[in-house]
Amino acid sequence: MNIEQLKLLEDFENDIISLDELDAFFEDKFGIDLFSDVNYLDTEIDVAISKEDENRLDLLLNILWIIRPQRKVVNILNKLLIYPHHKQHQAITKQIQEIADTCSVRYIAQILEQGFENFEYTCSEDATIAKWFSWALYSIGNEAAIDVMKQHSKSLNTEIAAEMLYRLSKL
């Protein structure tokens, strides 16, 4: 992504240009359909991740939220879920919950196994963060998701264990 493209994303984020104008600029000037070219967005997110460029990543995430259906971007969301250098994990988890794709289970399991140190920026208790993931697993609802909840219902972290036990009781 070049400087001009980043400037357009910033202008969109700052309400200087509309969504339609952003889309038209990218299509006309660069031949890129931001809202259907998921590979382009995925590549640019990988660049932002490799450079640990949180500002660039935030600009790209604003585009990601607009893409419908979100199922098209589930692999990007999964990757971002385990990536620590941004502050949109709750929103990403909510999107994963709504999509409810079984491919997300292993990423949620990885987060639960690692613990919640990467989410300290939220100032939330572990029970609150565990709730994000228990809801996502509950929505996915397959055997693997239920197994992850069962495994973490025995967590040494009592807040995680309690949340997983609660969500399991709702099955």
Distance between CA atoms of residues 37 and 53, nearest Å: 21
* Residues 75, 42 contacting (CB under 8 angstroms): yes
Domain residue ranges in the chain: 1-68, 88-171
Name which of 60, 61, 63 is nearest 23 in CA terms: 63
Tens of pLDDT, residue by residue over 116-156, are 999 999 999 999 999 999 999 999 999 999 999 999 999 99
pTM: 0.83
Mean residue pLDDT across the chain: 92
Regarding predicted confidence, which is higher, 62 or 161? Answer: 161
